[in-house]
Amino acid sequence: MIIDISQPLGPETVPWPGEPHLRQEWISSRERGDRVNVAEIRLAVHLGTHVDGPAHTGDGHPPIAEAGLEPYVGLARVRHAIGARALGPELLDGVDLRRTPRVLFRSRARVDLRAFPHGFAGLTAALAERLVAGGARLVGTDAPSVDPQESEALEVHRILREGGVAILENVVLDDVPEGEYTLVAAPLKLVCADSSPVRALLIAPDA
């Protein structure tokens, strides 16, 4: 079974506060007599489900097009922390990062696509450090950021970036049980962007 864990992208998709909504128009339209329909969209690369590249929070890093793809494809573990105010290192208890070096955290019972989740649960620095120490390749969250919303230092981003752990944000895990899956969430090959929207998928073991 293939599970789509991506937010739908459209003009109504809720962005980070202060960032623009998606804008779309038709370059050509069969209704206007053109041969084909061609849509043009304009959006921030952090809208909806996306990966943060190292250039998002660090200087001197290459664009997301140059990111290796290995972190974004492979075995992953889904862990539930519904209602948690912060995601701590105890969430990795019982997780073998050598087997499943990608971990996705579900912190909300249901993702409300119509409203920004103020007060969402970010990762603690201790959890980020444990992910790095354990050899994690990727961490994902159903929140808009791995850091708390009010963070200015973005310490969790820094720890993960320096430790080589890829970041996947705004996944939708509403109906996904805890367990092991294969994750597919490759970024677009954007040669002049720090990060990228993705169509993130989980493949259940019995698929």
Q: Which is the catalytic residue, given 56, 61, 80, 118?
A: 56
What is the spatial distance between Cα 143 and Cα 66, in angstroms, rounded to a whole number? Answer: 25
Nearest CA to 122 out of 91, 159, 85, 95 is that of 85
The rounded distance, in Å, linking the Cα atoms of 160 and 129 is 8
Residue 158 phi, psi dihedral angles, 5° rounding = -65, -45
**Sheet-wide strand order for 201-203:** 2-4, 201-203, 179-184, 73-80, 102-106, 138-141, 166-169, 50-52, 196-197
Place of tokens 């791995």: 146
- Per the annotation, the verdict on 157 as an active-site residue is no
Contact criterion met (CB below 8 Å) for 58 and 201: no
Task: Catalogue the active-site residues.
Answer: 56
